[in-house]
Amino acid sequence: MATLINEGKAKQLFTTDDPNVIQVHYMNQATALNGKRKEHIDDKGEVNNQIDSLIFEYLNHLGIATHFIKQLSDSDQLVKKMKMVPLEVVVRNYASGSFQRKFDTEYLLKFEEPVQEFYYKSDRLDDPFINDSQIHALKIATPEQLSTMREQVFKINQALIKLFAASGITLVDFKVEFGFDADGNLILGDEISPDSCRLVDAQTHESLDKDVFRKHTGNVMDGYRTVLSRLEATAK
């Protein structure tokens, strides 16, 4: 019988018959302000599971190692069990969010090279920015592991820019997480969806991601459904 291993802000993790495989259930829930604001949102779990499955299948196809095994149902998928590295790895192609606030730049200022940042995953500390030297001091990852994650995340960025551009969507920025699989390989885990990316319409710059929920600017599901239908149309 499947047992609940962990419940995060938008997903539940369950055991399966295989100790190296877990079932991820996407919930109809959105949070902001590090979980302090929580709302039920109809269909969000299904739409995010479908977007994430499509993206991870695409990355697996390109030879990028990920935890994703297969989509199981509308709101569930099977993934490899991982020991996660407690880092959020952010890549930015255009200025938005915390970068725009921190450096007071214009919105969607285009960077010549993608910007990469690490944040230490800790709800208690509100996921603070962390640099390489601090990561080494806290023994979170070795220099080689940081290089691997940087190398992988820039490859993932190029692949995602291409995938979204074909659907008329600009990838502004995104966050991913890495972990070790049962064989000790450092591979991509967690999720890639409009919960963890900033996506704007390439023509109108309309927001198609969780910023709509964060900023209360409309119905968040309109953007998520647009992302899914455009990705599905392009994948055909």
Which of 169, 197 has the CB closer to ligand TMP? 197
How far is it, in rounded angstroms, from Cα 42 to Cα 59? 28
Q: Which segments of the chain are extended strands (E)?
A: 4-7, 11-15, 21-26, 29-32, 37-40, 68-73, 76-80, 83-84, 87-94, 110-120, 129-130, 169-176, 178-180, 186-188, 197-201
Smallest gap, in angstroms, from Cβ of residue 184 to ligand TMP? 26
How far is it, in rounded angstroms, from Cα 69 to Cα 11? 17
Which of 16, 97 has the CB closer to ligand TMP? 97
Which of 75, 196 has the CB closer to ligand TMP? 196
Q: Around Cβ 169, how many Cβ atoms within 10 Å?
A: 25
Q: Which DSSP letter does residue 32 get?
A: E
* DSSP-assigned beta bridge partners for residue 122: none
Q: Which residue number is nearest to ligand TMP in terms of Cβ? A: 97
By the rule CB under 6 A, 97 interacts with ligand TMP: yes
Smallest gap, in angstroms, from Cβ of residue 89 to ligand TMP? 9
CA dihedral 193, 199, 201, 207 (to 10 degrees): 100
By the rule CB under 6 A, 214 interacts with ligand TMP: no
Smallest gap, in angstroms, from Cβ of residue 26 to ligand TMP? 15
By the rule CB under 6 A, 114 interacts with ligand TMP: no
Nearest to 56 by CA among 36, 40, 41, 71: 71
Locate 116 and state its tokens: 């990469």
How far is it, in rounded angstroms, from Cα 204 to Cα 18? 46
Which of 81, 175 has the CB closer to ligand TMP? 175
**What is residue 123's three-state secondary structure?**
coil
* DSSP-assigned beta bridge partners for residue 56: none
Smallest gap, in angstroms, from Cβ of residue 195 to ligand TMP? 6
Binder of ligand TMP out of 90, 95, 130, 156 (CB under 6 A):
90
Binder of ligand TMP out of 68, 99, 213, 224 (CB under 6 A):
99
Binder of ligand TMP out of 196, 224, 228, 230 (CB under 6 A):
196
Which of 10, 228 has the CB closer to ligand TMP? 10
Mask: binding to ligand TMP, 49-78, rule CB under 6 A, as x and -? ------------------------------
Site for ligand TMP in 1-40 (CB under 6 A): none
Which residues lie near ligand TMP (CB under 6 A)? 88, 90, 97-99, 127, 173-175, 196-198
